[in-house]
Amino acid sequence: MEPTSNTSSAESLAALSGEKAAATYASIAAIVLGVFLIAGTGLARPDVLHNAAHDARHAAAFPCH
């Protein structure tokens, strides 16, 4: 048995599991952010939403008046 073939397959397995973990963490982060945004806009008062959008337009230097 060649040590290089065992090493390369072990490295491939480690890289694959690292990619899978990164994809899992990204998926969880996207779900948490989505739930936060949906719940935040669903529970916020209309004037709070208006002020947030208004401030974002001003921060982007977009005239809105």
In the prediction, which pLDDT does 52 show? Answer: 85
Q: What is the pLDDT of residues 5-48, one digit of tens each?
A: 555 666 766 666 778 888 899 999 999 999 998 888 788 888 88
- Residue by residue, DSSP assigns 13-61 as HHHHHHHHHHHHHHHHHHHHHHHHHHHHHHHS-HHHHHHHHHHHHHHTT
In the prediction, which pLDDT does 34 show? Answer: 92
**Two tokens at 51?**
């002020």
